[in-house]
Structure 1
Amino acid sequence: MPDDVPDRQNVSGELHRVSIKPPPFLQDQPDLFFIQMEAQFNIASIKCDITKYHYVVASLDQNVSSRVSDSLRNPPETNKYEELKKVIIAEFTDSDQKKLRKLINSVELGDLDPSKLLKKMKELAKNQLSDDVLKTLWLERLPDNIRAVICIGSGDLTTLSKQADTMAEMQSISNISAVGSQSEILSRIDALQKQVEELRTSRPGGSRKHGSQKRDLSKSRSKSKPRLPLCRYHFRFGKDAKKCVEPCQFKKFDLSEN
Structure 2
Amino acid sequence: KIPPFWRNDPEIWFLQVENQFTLANITSDATKFNYIVANLETAYISKVRDIIVSPPATEKHQTVSNNIVRSLWLGRLPSSTQAILATQAKASLDAVAELADTISEAIAPRAQISETSNARESTIDKLTAELAEMKIQLASLLQVQAQTNTYRRNRSNSRGRSYSRERDSDICWYHYRFGDQAQKCSLPCKHQENLAGSR
Alignment TM class, shorter chain as reference: 0.3 to 0.5
Larger fraction in helix: 2
TM-score for the superposition, normalised by structure 2 = 0.48
